[in-house]
Every structure is written in C-alpha cells, then in structure tokens.
Amino acid sequence: MARLSAADIAAAAGGVLLRGNPAASFLSFGIDSRTIEPGGLFFAVPARRDGHDFVAAAAAGGAAGAVVSREVAVPGPSFALIRVDDTVAALQRLARSVLAASGAKVVGITGSVGKTTTKDFTADILGASFRVLKSESNLNNHLGLALSVLKLEPGHEVAVLEMGMSAPGEIRTLVSIAPPDAAVVTNVAPVHLEFLGGLEAVAEAKAEIIDGLKPGGAAVLNSDDSWGRILARRAGGRVIFFGFTESAEVRASDLTFAGYDGLRFRLTYDGTDRDIRLPFLTEGLVRNLLAALGAARALNLPWAAVETALAGLTPAHNRGRVVRLARGVAVIDDSYNSSPLALAMALKSYIHLPAARRVAVLGDMLELGPGEQTFHEEAGRTAGRLGWNMVAAVGPRSRWIAAGARTAGLSLKETPEFETSEEAAEKIPGLLRPGDLVLVKGSRGVRMERLVERLAAQFKES
C-alpha cells in the first residue's frame, strides 16, 4: 500500500490536521472500525450508522488516526485527527491523488452481468505482463473503489477496477476517481430495473464509463449486444469489439461443449485464429474471457503474453464451480447472483453436462421492477423447454419460475416450491437421486449458498 504522511493526506483530502504528528505515516485505510488494521487511518463515513460514533472503537482496534467532519472525542494524545468538510469526498479525493501519482494505467469494468468474473480474468491475464492491482471481491461502489485504489503500491503498473451502479451518476463518480485507459462494458441487460426503469436507462448509466475515458483510451464493447454498437457512438477514440459475431476483433467461434472437460472453441486475437480448450462449463464464462481479452488488446498485449495466463483461469467461488459429492451427485454452485440473462446462459450451458437427471434449484431474481413476473416465468419456460427434469423454486418471486416450467410440460411434483433457502436446504436433499446434476442459482439476497453448504454436508464423500 502507499505510505502517506498525515500532512500529505490532509492536503490531498482537502482537510486540516488538527492534532498528531504531521510526519506520522499510514499504510492502510478503512471505513469499518471492526476491520481496521493496526496503524491504519479510519474514515468516519456516515452510512446506516455514522462512523463518527465509532472513532473510539477504531482506535481500540489499532487505528492510529481518523478523518472526521465534526468534533469527536480524541482517543489518545498520539492519535492523528484530520478534519474535512465531507469524509466521503475526502476519501475519494485521496484515492484520486494516489492513483494519479502512481502513474498506473486503469482498466475499468462495468456491465449488467459478469463484471466480477471479467475483472478477475482481466487481472490474471494482465498479471502475466504487468504488476496488477485489482479491486477486491465486489467492492465496486463509491467507497469500495476508493479503498481499492488506496491499496496501490510502488511498482503497480495497472489497476483493474470493477465499477458497479444501481442508479444514474454512480459510475460518473467512479471514473472521476479513476479515469480508465480501457473501459469495458460486458453487456446491457435487465438488472436494477426497479431503480432505473428500462434498458435504455441502464445503457445510459453504463455509458458514463465511456464518457470518463482518458484521452487516447479505448472502449471495449460487446458486439453481440445491440447496446454495444450504440455505446460505441459515445467513444471518441479506439473501440475494440469482443463476442461471437464475425466483426468482433476478439472473437470466439465453433464453440463445442465437452461435458465436464470444459469447452473448445476457435479464438481470434490479434488477427490470428487459434484452437482453445478451457475448463469452462458455460458460454457465459467464454464471454467474460473475451471481454478480458479485449482489455488485453486495449493495452496492446501480444498473444505470447496472453497465452501463458489462460491455463490458470477458473471461475471464482459461487460462480459456476463444480462440487463433486457422494452417490455421483454433482452440484454447480452458481449461487452468487442471478439475472434473466445470466440464468438463461446457465440453463442453456449446463444442460449439456451428463447426468442421470438435471435439477435446477432457482432463487428469486431481485430488482427487476414491474416486469419481474414476466422475467421469472420466461426463465421457467426456458428450463422446461431445454429439458431440465426438475425445476425447484426458492422464494416468493420464483413461484413464477415454477409456473413457467409447468407451462413447458413439467408436473407439480417436478416443480416444488420453497419459501426460503433454509427450507430448500432442509428438503431438497431428500428429493435427489444418485447421479443427479444440481444447478443452484439465485440473487444474493436469497442466500442460495446455504443450499450448497447443506448438500455438501449431507452428501459428503466418505
């Protein structure tokens, strides 16, 4: 992490050092008094609970100073106190200053589906040639991105940063902190419609990352998504398209499913075609890879540098990993999140895996607005048409998934419904048979990982 003095922090954050040694240095920064590192600087951010009420707790946890916007009791004589007008703005100003001083290039990644996996793949691929910082987990909002940037160390050459949003203007704030050299938009799909209203509004909000590109920067866009072509009109410079269409600069073709061995496809990169085989089980992961390779093209990485990184790519926890259990049961843990596009790709891809039966346990898809019933019903119809043998619904909205599956021919017995993930975790194990394939997917708020944990415990290999 960057080593910054109290005096330099106060200047960069637009504040005043009220007390403490101006030369005292800080290596870590946080907004949660429970996780602050010893010697760290605590930003008293007002959120659901006001961080100013936890300055003493942060000091007890080892913090050596705090940034505040109102008077607080001073925890000790050596405790540094920096006063600013707005602690959130101060955190963002400090991150902006640190990033600018580092000289690191920025790859900003947004999109409706696949942001985090694309971020991870991009960091892994670029890491073969550069020293890379990537934003942790899904810390992609106005606070998380700033804290990620403050983890920059001397020698970091690239920062790969996920940029999320649920409302207009949020990405504009993020690119003001970290203007991208490469702006990746994975896709525009029905998510956050409860707050945004329609796909046009989603696209407009995503376009803020393109508007924030540095001069000479590149927009990396999805050629298979009609919105990608529309967003390209916003780019003032280089545009790199990725996808399955013939016109994409980074392209996959001749996709073949090879069961649990993964996928084979033809990859076009830097104008040359190559045969690729990877342990991916869904087309969605191939699309995430193509987006990451688009970012690599934006930074002019040659194929030799890219190729070394491909073999080690794997999906992150809860994002499509196979959990092998006793009695030949295989669980696809895709429980991290769900949306209409992501669920459709999962259903279409995993149906190719060999199994005695294919069981989809599907939780609610949240934040879809007035069209939520239609989206859920269509998911159920898709599962039924594709040949899923059982479609279990978890949560009040997923009853529409079960209803959709019944219109596609599944029976009441084949479409059980559960109020919560806890109830599903209790009852689903008793419905399974040897050799079943079980897909577990739902929005984060439904906590579908509880079912995966229960299945892993109950079908543990002896």
Q: What CATH code is carried by the domain that includes residue 369?
A: 3.90.190.20
Q: Tens digit of pLDDT per residue, the chain (462 long)?
A: 678 999 999 999 999 999 999 999 999 999 999 999 999 999 999 988 899 999 999 999 999 999 999 999 988 889 999 999 999 999 999 999 999 999 999 999 999 889 999 999 999 999 999 999 999 877 789 999 999 999 999 999 999 999 998 888 999 999 999 999 999 999 997 766 666 778 888 889 999 999 999 999 999 999 999 999 999 999 988 999 999 999 999 999 999 999 999 999 999 999 999 999 998 999 999 999 999 999 999 999 999 999 989 988 888 788 888 999 999 999 999 998 999 999 999 999 999 999 999 999 999 999 898 899 999 999 999 999 999 999 999 999 999 999 999 999 999 999 999 999 999 999 999 999 999 999 999 998 999 999 999 999 988 754
pLDDT value at residue 192? 66
Cα 366 to chain centroid distance, Å, stands at: 16
In single-letter form, the type of residue at position 355 comes to A
In a shared domain, residues 251 and 145: yes
pLDDT value at residue 9? 97
CATH of the domain at 65: 3.40.1390.10
In a shared domain, residues 401 and 434: yes
Task: Report whether 459 contacts 429 (CB < 8 A).
Answer: yes
CATH of the domain at 299: 3.40.1190.10
Strand 182-185 and strand 158-162: the pairing is unpaired
Structure tokens at 20: 């403490």
In order of 275, 380, 456, the CA distances from 406 in angstroms are: 41, 8, 29
Rounded CA-CA distance 129/120 in Å is 15
Q: Does residue 360 fall inside a structural domain? A: yes
In a shared domain, residues 278 and 337: no
Q: pTM of the entire structure?
A: 0.91
In a shared domain, residues 437 and 354: yes
Q: Does residue 182 fall inside a structural domain? A: yes
In a shared domain, residues 256 and 304: yes
Rounded CA-CA distance 359/70 in Å is 55
In a shared domain, residues 61 and 110: no
Q: Does residue 90 fall inside a structural domain? A: no
**Number of alpha helices (DSSP H) and beta strands (DSSP E) in the chain:** 17, 22
Which neighbouring-strand residues pair with 80? Answer: 65
In order of 26, 27, 37, the CA distances from 81 in angstroms are: 13, 16, 17
Rounded CA-CA distance 395/442 in Å is 9
Rounded CA-CA distance 418/426 in Å is 10
What's the domain count of the chain? 3
Helix (H, G, I), strand (E, B) or coil at 55: helix
pLDDT value at residue 194? 67
Rounded CA-CA distance 430/400 in Å is 23
In a shared domain, residues 79 and 119: no
In a shared domain, residues 76 and 109: no
Q: Does residue 93 fall inside a structural domain? A: no
Q: Does residue 95 fall inside a structural domain? A: no
Rounded CA-CA distance 377/400 in Å is 5
In a shared domain, residues 299 and 167: yes
Rounded CA-CA distance 130/126 in Å is 6
Rounded CA-CA distance 206/186 in Å is 10
Q: Does residue 19 fall inside a structural domain? A: yes
pLDDT value at residue 462? 40
| DSSP codes of every residue in 308-326 | HHHTT--PPTTSSEEEE-G
Q: Does residue 16 fall inside a structural domain? A: yes
φ/ψ of 21, rounded to 5, equals -75, 120
In a shared domain, residues 281 and 356: no
Q: Does residue 94 fall inside a structural domain? A: no
In a shared domain, residues 172 and 263: yes
In a shared domain, residues 257 and 207: yes
pLDDT value at residue 200? 87
Of the residues 287, 310, 333, which one is the last residue of a structural domain?
Answer: 310
Place of tokens 């160390």: 153
The range of the structural domain enclosing residue 328 comes to 321-458
In single-letter form, the type of residue at position 145 comes to L
